Amino acid sequence: MQKQKSKVILLPCSSYREELVYEGLKKGLELLGGLETLVKKEEKILLKPNLLKKAEVEKAVITHPAVVGMFARILKEYGCKNVILADSCGHGTTRKVIAGTGMDRYMDEFQIPAVDFSEGIKKLYPEGSQAKEFMLSRELLEQDCVISLCKMKTHALERITGAVKNSYGFVYGFYKAKGHTLYPSVDSFARMLVDLNQCVRPRLYVMDGITAMEGNGPGSGDPVDMGVMLLSTDPVALDSVFCHLVHLKPQMVPTNYHGEKMGLGTWKKEEIEILTPDGRISMEEAVRKYGNPEFHVDRRVMKHGIWEKMAKALNIFQKKPYIEAEKCIRCGICAKSCPVPGKAVEFRDGREHPPVYDYKKCIRCFCCQEMCPEKAIKVK
């Protein structure tokens, strides 16, 4: 019996003009079978955008307010009355991060409360491969349905952050940082993310790729026009289409590789069906029409020979964060964001000089690089 393919809806969208985004999302939902196949009007629904930190919308750090707002409009027009918006932000709260972005205006217009997660509750997940439990927010656990509104961005640890990675915002507060110490390797962190998606089970994943982030993502990269939105119920397939569009082999992304192995979804192009408003297209045609071969993303092949293992054991020739002193404003957010007990980056001689790394402690989670407000931290 032939395996059913995972549908990924690819919607060309040239700008964030409200009606353009609205019509695109409506068409995308139709191609997936209709909103009525995904949610019930009486259900309690959580919209979960990527709200990494407070940033200008044009910098492509957060899911664009127009994408969030127009999806909210569609839900309200359908008759959904119990909808909230929330995220466990990297720095700040939901309300503070969306304030002044336009997302707050949309939430007011459609009467959708923006909620700050208030309490962490232990959720046991014994069937997990990597993680057997999660500390999730109470507000999340009270919902019937979760819809993930992610952003197309690069990521220093996992190469990209998209549908699978967006779910890390379900973990409550301090426990997000703690997760990096519990799952310090690229692969263990990816497997934990797969378990988390399988535990929470978002009904739908929507990716804002109209303007994406390349380079030093997910918080300090550069905006780049990609001109697409992607929708799917399979987060691995969605992220894999993202990878193809930026000429990155999807199996090189740990969340894709482990996501397929662990049954979350598929990265294999022969198992993915791409639908557009003009009909079905092949992966090759999608890349030809909408891809960007110049997109700045880590495409280096990871080696696993004996010398690489020795280098890792000796803590040499590894990816490391470093601070560009001329850009550093000595705010201390990098030190505050470091999840390592005793801190792997801290001020040693007051704030007259930038913080200093202790690479013997550093676990390469790159939380410092994610949260730097001045793009002063790079990975080399």
| Longest CA span, the chain | 67
Mean pLDDT, residues 31-46? 98
Instruction: Round to whole Å and give the CA distance between 88 and 169.
Output: 5
Residue with tokens 């309490």: 119
Token duo for residue 83: 């909808």
> Above 60 in pLDDT, residue 316?
no
Contact 203, 286 (CB under 8 A): no
pLDDT given for residue 306 in this prediction: 55
Query: pLDDT band at residue 318, thresholds of 50, 70 and 90?
Result: confident
Question: Per-residue pLDDT tens for 169-197?
Answer: 999 998 999 999 999 999 999 999 999 99
pLDDT given for residue 380 in this prediction: 86
pLDDT given for residue 311 in this prediction: 52
Token duo for residue 80: 């959904």
Query: pLDDT above 90 covers what percent of the chain?
Result: 93
Radius of gyration of the chain (CA): 20
> Above 90 in pLDDT, residue 361?
yes
Question: Per-residue pLDDT tens for 273-314?
Answer: 999 999 999 999 999 999 999 999 999 987 655 555 555 555
pLDDT given for residue 301 in this prediction: 87
pLDDT given for residue 307 in this prediction: 53
> Above 60 in pLDDT, residue 315?
no
pLDDT given for residue 309 in this prediction: 56
- Residue whose C-alpha is closest to residue 353's, from 375, 369, 376, 319: 376
Mean pLDDT, residues 212-234? 98
301 CB neighbour count, 10 Å cutoff: 7
Contact 287, 345 (CB under 8 A): no
Count, residues in the chain:
380
Peptide bond into 254 cis (omega under 30): no
* CB neighbour burial string for 214-237, b if at least 16 within 10 angstroms, e if fewer: bbbbbbbbebbebbbbbbbbbbbb
Instruction: Round to whole Å and give the CA distance between 105 and 131.
Output: 38
Contact 11, 27 (CB under 8 A): yes
Domains and CATH numbers, the chain: 6-290 (3.40.50.11440), 306-379 (3.30.70.20)
